[in-house]
Amino acid sequence: MGRIFNASADCHPDLHYMVDLKDRLKKITSMVDAGQYFTINWARQYGKTTTLLALAGHLKKEHTVVSLDFQLFSAGTFRTENTFSLAFAKAFVQSWKENRAPFSDEIC
């Protein structure tokens, strides 16, 4: 079966029709390499998640990518600075362990 149009989740070039992201990824990568900040703030269904997933795959060649989804944090996590800091640190270390090998126990 050929590619299809997808408007319900992140897109994959081998499965879905999509915009070529190469130029965007090059631009964002140059910003990352220069230590600059960037934002991705398009409207619904404009490819934010797809762009971030493609960027993570692109950056993994030379960088350690740590991905956090704040939607997975409970409402209680945001009540105080302390609870948020602890939850953030735990999620960060878990993501780091999953995406970087070897991981030194000394950092934990």
Q: What integer pLDDT is reported at residue 53 of this predicted model?
A: 87
Amino acid at 100: R
Q: What integer pLDDT is reported at residue 100 of this predicted model?
A: 66
Q: Give me the percent of the chain exceeding a pLDDT of 70.
A: 92
Q: What is the mean pLDDT of residues 22-40?
A: 93
Model-level pTM? 0.68
Q: What is the pLDDT of residues 46-89, one digit of tens each?
A: 888 888 988 998 898 888 888 888 888 988 889 999 999 999 99
In sequence order, what are the beta bridge partners of 16?
4
E strand or H helix that includes residue 25? helix 22-33
∠ Cα 43 46 47 (to 5°): 125
Query: What is d(CA 44, CA 7) in angstroms, rounded to the nearest whole number?
Result: 10
Q: What integer pLDDT is reported at residue 104 of this predicted model?
A: 43
Q: Which residue has the tokens 């996590």?
A: 77
